[in-house]
Chain A
Amino acid sequence: MDIQFKKVSYIYQPNTPFSHQALHEIDLTIKSGEFIAIVGHTGSGKSTLLQHLNGLIYPATGEVRIGEYVLNDENRKQDLKELRQKVGLVFQYPEHQLFEETVEKDIAFGPRNFGVPDKLIDQRIKQVIEEVGLNEEILSKSPFELSGGQMRRVAIAGILAAMPEVLVLDEPTAGLDPYGQQQMMALFYRLHKERKLTTILVTHKMEDAFTYADRIVVLEKGNKILEGTPVDIFRDRRFLHNVRLELPEILLFLEKFNDTFPFTIEYKGQTVEEIAVEIDQKLKEIKGQ
């Protein structure tokens, strides 16, 4: 499903003394199957942007097109069930939305609301619980006796079980241990590839944005100030400095390395390992001369 934001503005609590414009005329196009990362400081409007994708809020002006759905100020009253099934939204701290007596029931909650037959739900539960790296034994437990990380996984499994085509993730790894963060990101990337999902990731970690995203969007105070592939963003990195966003460590290293040594290594979106190999080759070349 292609997604298009056209001059989307959003205002919290309009016509009150608390009125606050959280988005300013955002234009953004996301192609089916893309992996997009949205970065920006706290309060820059990332979560506000995401909520449009599920029709939870409507643009004050402008419009959002998601597949066949058009969301704008005029058509607020439409049935969004299908949209919400197709676009899976993982909120910040999704474990706070758990409520059922058992993990199994909680995972089944979404698909059941979307009218998936019971048989299929059982099958999906087994599949997703494994995908998020949990054991089937956990299914009969209460979600409230799990650890924070396990709860997070259960909540995410509950979204995945609805088999969305678009996966929207709002800082899905916040508050997990480093190993858990890595695992979780690897899981999302694998799902992105395997299920051919369109993935939209909000993150504070530039590392993740550069590693996984096809394109990165930088928000600042509700404005889109930068958009492009990781290579583009690296080229325009001075804009990042302006808004006090740090490049990932590996790129900081590359910057320093290129300043220090008489030869340069071009950034083409390589991983750490690939860059190490390249440096090794360059050094060998020089030794050979």
Chain B
Amino acid sequence: MKSWLVIGQYVPGHSVLHRLDPRTKLLMIFTYVIIVFFANNTLSYGLLAIFAIWTIFLSKLSLTYILKGITPIWFFIIFSFLIHLFFTNDGDIIWQLSGLKIYSGGLVKGLTISLRFLLLIMVTSLLTLTTSPMEITDALENLLSPLQKWKFPVHELALMLSISLRFIPTLMDELDKISKAQASRGVDLRTGSLKSRMYAVIPLLVPLFISAFRRAEDLAMAMEARGYRGGEGRTKLRQLSYSWLDFQAVVIYIFIMIIFFMLRN
């Protein structure tokens, strides 16, 4: 597996963040993601950034590990920053070189958009980093369960999600193995024309798909063999339960949100 990629990874631990009920985390992050779009001045952005950094500190994970781990996202962040920087034209011209003009509005817009992006990614990665895929799906299933009244397939959805999450690392490992095996048969993904590199992907994808299908079949068989018959009447090994910690977290969170809306203008 790519060692530095943190997206979707789970790092087991015992920090405060790990111990929170996954539903609490899910709800907080969900609201955070929406609230990020309401920030409209330096103070409100600052508060959200401080909150994000504080939670990372609480998770006992290193900030550099997370920032490095979202390397592919950095590309998007910088890209969108540059797009806004060069293609917005309100405000004053702050810098000019032959035909190229940079406006203050562009700078502000570029900065806010990329900060928003960064905050979103940091906070959502923090969710997956401190919550096991099982917990995430249990929480989702639990939170969505009222929808069952309207025949919404909550359990099936949660199961699909947990299986996909469960198999991402497995498939990444598999891909790593296959690409090593093909590399030793002379496949070169790093040099050559674009076309030849596209062709070089086929020897990776075919075995990957075959193994994914094989795994899916095995899994289906194993589930049936163990008597899986859908969600109805199925009990859970781990029951979710809110604790004092969740209460404290929610109170602090609501407090911060109130300050946030006071800081906005």
Contacts and interface: CB of A to CB of B under 8 A. Distances in A.
A84 interface: yes
A109 B184 contact: no
Contacts of A114: 186
Interface string B34-76: 0000000000000000000000000001000100010000000
A247 B180 CA distance: 33
Interface string B135-171: 0000000000000000000000000000000000000
Contacts of B211: 96
Contact of B182 (A12, A87, A97): A97
Contact of B203 (A12, A56, A99, A144): A99
Interface in B181-234: 181-188, 202-203, 206-207, 210-211
B207 A17 contact: no
B184 A17 contact: no
A132 interface: no
Contact of B206 (A13, A99, A110, A159): A99
Secondary structure call for the B interface: helix
A31 interface: no
Contacts of B11: 17-18
Contacts of B178: 96-97
A199 interface: no
Contacts of A109: 185-186, 203
Size bracket, chain B contacts: 20 to 34
Nearest to B211: A96
Contacts of A54: 183-184
A44 interface: no
Contacts of A13: 1, 3
A196 interface: no
Highest count of chain A CB atoms <10 Å: which of B4, B181, B206, B210: B181
Contacts of A113: 185-188
Contact of B183 (A16, A84, A98, A144): A84
B186 A144 contact: no
A91 B210 CA distance: 17
A61 interface: no
A159 B183 contact: no
Contact of B65 (A15, A112, A144): A15
Interface string A41-57: 00000000001001010
Nearest to B61: A17
B14 interface: no
A167 B79 CA distance: 47
B185 A162 contact: yes
B233 to A, nearest CB: 38
Contacts of B4: 15-16
Nearest to B178: A97
Given A17-B61, A96-B211, A97-B207, A91 B3 contact: no
A56 B3 contact: no
18 contacts: A13-B3, A18-B3, A54-B183, A54-B184, A56-B180, A81-B188, A88-B184, A89-B181, A91-B177, A94-B181, A97-B178, A97-B181, A97-B203, A99-B210, A110-B185, A112-B186, A114-B186, A162-B185
Interface of B: 1, 3-4, 11, 61, 65, 69, 177-178, 180-188, 202-203, 206-207, 210-211
Given A81-B186, A96-B177, 14 more contacts: A16-B65, A17-B65, A54-B183, A56-B180, A85-B186, A88-B184, A91-B177, A91-B184, A97-B203, A99-B203, A99-B207, A99-B210, A113-B187, A159-B185
